[in-house]
Amino acid sequence: MASLAPLPHPRPSLSPTRRFRTLSLRSVAPRLFVSNAIAGGTSLHWPQKEKINLSKYVNESFHEEGDWESLDADVYHWTRSLRPVQWYPGHIAKAEKELKEQLKLMDVVIEVRDARIPMATSHPQMDSWLGNRKKILVLNREDMISTADRNSWANFFTRQGIKVVFANGQLGMGTMKLGRLAKLLATGVNTKRRAKGLLPRPVRAGIVGYPNVGKSSLINRLLRRRMCPAAPRPGVTRQLKWVRFGKDLEFLDSPGILPMRIRDQAAAIKLAICDDIGERSYDAADVAAILVQMLTRLPAVEAKCYCFISSCQVANCTRWFPTGSDTLCKRYRIDSDGRCGKIFLEKLALHLFNGDVSHAAVRVLSDFRKGKFGWIALERPPR
């Protein structure tokens, strides 16, 4: 039997057998403890689990295991047998052509994405359109993701040197910071104009992004009045519109811009789940089934305690459910045994909607979009 390499620090001599056992226990014990905390085995009861910071162990284990990469691969596999999700109405083609012309007038470009799916709501041609123009990235709907997800994306974009602002267009969070940052990045514009003997002008900021990511809502919150049409569905804004914010800043509201053909169908399904693409482009039952399968793969979901547990008396309390399956079970009082989304929808339809699967699918999608399942991101930063 070959002898093991010496330990880096002086320690009492151990026999090869004892040394092997010592190293094995050090490497295996923490993993077994974390797995037990996540899975909710019989050795720990809920009162004991609540004393443990489950989010810490869940996030560390989730990143180390590489489950997000595996989940993305599974979503790609699930979508192969479905009808492709494509949506490119006529007003988008017209708006894309006009937007390219207006980009020449912009000092700063504000790209708005959905915080639940920042990569799926990234236009593949956006960087080539912008060129060297200064850009601010806004992740809207920050209220629908957990603090851990928010911190992960903030670190990811900061390492890339991208200015990122987390916002909530419905409540106005982050809008004032966005306005100040846009002015700050464009201060050089009027400096050059003064050097040439020209009068200063307002900073021009264009707001671009996918449909229904909250572009118009952000502008309305900044202006504190309804200047741009906004509604919780894609395709409401159909033409470009300049609006003035005080004397120093102008915003260009633009329709949502999608690629003519979405090649990544895993990203297209996520757009459908988050309602960032027209509902005529997909079958709700197929999309809801994939959402259920994605939730059952998530090891933990942070949810509002009062949504599910009547005995909790703490206002705005949060609780970590061990798996997405438990979240579905608590919400609908149905066991999600197995990981087949269609079977779960059929059981939900029989339980609540007299066997109407399409109605059950719409209900699941609506509950997710309203945050009824908790703070869930469908993407994490790539490694």
8-state DSSP, 375: B
Rounded CA gap, 265 and 279, in Å? 15
**Do 216 and 228 touch, CB atoms closer than 8 A?**
yes
Higher-confidence position of 322 and 178: 178
Over 80: is that where the pLDDT of 230 sits? no
**Do 366 and 272 touch, CB atoms closer than 8 A?**
no
- What count of other Cβ atoms lies within 10 Å of the Cβ of residue 238? 15
Q: Would you state the pLDDT for residue 202?
A: 82
Higher-confidence position of 318 and 24: 318
Per DSSP, the three-state class of 132 is coil
Over 80: is that where the pLDDT of 375 sits? yes
Half-sphere exposure (Cβ direction) of 371: Cα atoms closer than 13 Å: 14
Confidence band of 104 (pLDDT split at 50, 70, 90) = confident
**Least-confidence region, from 6-15, 236-245, 261-270:** 6-15
Over 70: is that where the pLDDT of 334 sits? yes
Q: Which helix (H) or strand (E) holds 204?
A: strand 203-209
Q: Would you state the pLDDT for residue 330?
A: 85
Question: For 218-229, what is the mean pLDDT?
Answer: 68
Per the structure block, which two tokens stand in for 327? 């979240």
Q: Whole-model pTM?
A: 0.74
CA triplet 47, 52, 54: central angle to 5 degrees? 110
Q: What is the pLDDT of residues 30-54, one digit of tens each?
A: 333 333 332 333 333 333 333 334 3
- When mean pLDDT is compared over 151-165, 200-214, 322-336, the highest value belongs to 151-165
Question: For 201-224, what is the mean pLDDT?
Answer: 84
- When mean pLDDT is compared over 97-101, 219-223, 269-273, 304-308, the highest value belongs to 269-273
Q: Which helix (H) or strand (E) holds 113?
A: strand 108-114
What b/e readout covers 8-47, taking b as 16+ CB neighbours within 10 angstroms? eeeeeeeeeeebeeeeeeeeeeeeeebeebbebeeebeee
Over 80: is that where the pLDDT of 377 sits? yes
Over 50: is that where the pLDDT of 273 sits? yes
Closest CA to 214 of 244, 175, 179, 180: 175
Per DSSP, the three-state class of 354 is coil
Q: Which residues contact 199 (CB under 8 A, 6 or more apart)?
A: 193
Confidence band of 299 (pLDDT split at 50, 70, 90) = low
- When mean pLDDT is compared over 14-23, 248-257, 300-309, 372-381, the highest value belongs to 372-381
Question: For 131-146, what is the mean pLDDT?
Answer: 90
Over 90: is that where the pLDDT of 60 sits? no
Q: Would you state the pLDDT for residue 383?
A: 75
**Do 372 and 331 touch, CB atoms closer than 8 A?**
yes
Maximum separation of any 2 CA atoms in the chain, in Å: 85
Q: Would you state the pLDDT for residue 10?
A: 44
C-alpha to C-alpha distances, 224 to 22, 172, 219, nearest whole angstrom: 64, 9, 8
Question: For 178-194, what is the mean pLDDT?
Answer: 80
Rounded CA gap, 151 and 154, in Å? 5
Rounded CA gap, 252 and 103, in Å? 10
Q: Would you state the pLDDT for residue 81?
A: 87
Beta strands in 231-334 (DSSP E): 241-245, 249-253, 301-304, 318-321
Over 70: is that where the pLDDT of 26 sits? no
